[in-house]
Amino acid sequence: MRKIIQAAILAFAIATVACHEDQGNYDYISLEEIEIDTAGMEILSAYSIYRYDTLRLAPVVYLDGKRVETDPLLEQKIDYHWSIYKATTAAGVTSVVDTIGKNAMLDAIITQPAGTWIILFTVTLKDTGIKAFMKFSLQIDEIVSDGWMVLYEREGDTDVGLIVNDRVKKGVIQERLLLDIYSASNEGQRLPGKPVSIIHSIAPLSSGEVLVASERDLVAVEKTSFGRYYDMERLFWMPPATRALSYVGGNYTRREVVINNNRIHYVNYMSSGLFRVDAFGSACLGEYGQLAPWLSSFYSASFEAIAYDQTNKRFLCVTAAGVSVDTLNSKDKTAFDVNNVGMEMVLSDYGRSNYEFTLARNGSEYALLVSNFYTTNINSDKIAIAKYDMSDCPGIAAVSSIAPGGLGEFIYYASGQNLHVFKYNVTGSDRVQVAWSAPAGETITCARLQRSYYPTFALAGFLINNYAVIYIATWNETIQSGSVYQMVVDPSNAVIDNTSRREYTGFGKVKEMSWKWTL
For residues 247 and 517, the model is more confident at 247
What percentage of the chain reaches a pLDDT higher than 70?
A: 91
DSSP, res 441: T
| pLDDT level of residue 379 (50, 70, 90 thresholds) | low
- The full DSSP string for 159-211 is EEEEEESTTTSTT--S-EEE-SHHHHHTTTPPBSSSEEEEEE--SSTTT-PEE
> CA nearest 218: which of 189, 187, 188, 239?
239
Q: Is residue 33 over pLDDT 90?
A: no
Question: Averaged over 474-501, what is the pLDDT?
Answer: 97
Residue 334 has pLDDT above 80, yes or no: yes
The CATH number of residue 123's host domain is: 2.60.40
Q: What is the mean pLDDT of the chain?
A: 90
Last residue of a domain, one of 283, 310, 340: 283
8-state DSSP, 3: H
- Is 364 in the same domain as 480? yes
Q: How many domains does the chain have?
A: 3
Answer whether residue 470 shows pLDDT above 60: yes
Q: What is the mean pLDDT of residues 21-46?
A: 68
Give the pLDDT band of residue 48 (cuts 50, 70, 90): confident
- What confidence tens digit (pLDDT) does each residue in 208-226 have? 999 999 999 999 999 988 9
- HSE value, Cβ hemisphere, 13 Å, CA-based, for 493: 3
Domain hosting 264: range is: 191-283
- The verdict on 176 and 315 lying in the same domain is yes
Does 347 lie in the same domain as 316?
Answer: yes
Q: Stretch 488-503: mean pLDDT, rounded?
A: 97
pLDDT (average), residues 298-309: 94
* 155 and 208 assigned to the same domain: no
Residues 294, 349: contact at Cβ < 8 Å? no
Does the CA dihedral 377-379-382-383 come out positive or negative? Answer: positive
Contact 131, 31 (CB under 8 A): no
In this structure, the answer to whether residues 178 and 309 fall within a common structural domain is yes
Same domain for 179 and 203?
no
What's the confidence (pLDDT) of residue 6? Answer: 44
Whether the per-residue pLDDT at 140 is higher than 90: the answer is no
Could you tell me the pLDDT band of residue 435, with boundaries at 50, 70 and 90? very high
- 108 backbone φψ class: left, alpha, beta (φ>0; ψ -120 to 50): beta
| CA dist., res. 152 & res. 473, Å (int) | 10
304 burial class (0-12, 13-18, 19+ CB within 10 angstroms)? Answer: buried
pLDDT band at 37, cuts 50/70/90?
confident
C-beta neighbour count of 426 within 10 angstroms = 13
Report the half-sphere exposure of 159 (CA within 13 A, side-chain side): 25
Answer yes or no: is 216 within a domain: yes
What's the pTM value of the predicted model, to 2 decimals?
0.82
Which residue, 251, 283, 315, sits at the end of a domain?
283
Last residue of a domain, one of 126, 141, 156: 141
What pLDDT, on the 0 to 100 scale, is given for residue 2?
A: 42
Does residue 8 register a pLDDT over 90?
no
Q: How confident is the model at residue 124 (pLDDT cuts 50, 70, 90)?
A: very high
Q: Whose CA is closest to 126, among 37, 38, 63?
A: 63
- pLDDT, average across residues 144-148: 87
Report which listed range, 175-184, 274-283, 484-493, is most confident. 484-493
Task: Read off the pLDDT of each residue in 166-171 and give the average, rounded to a whole number.
Answer: 89
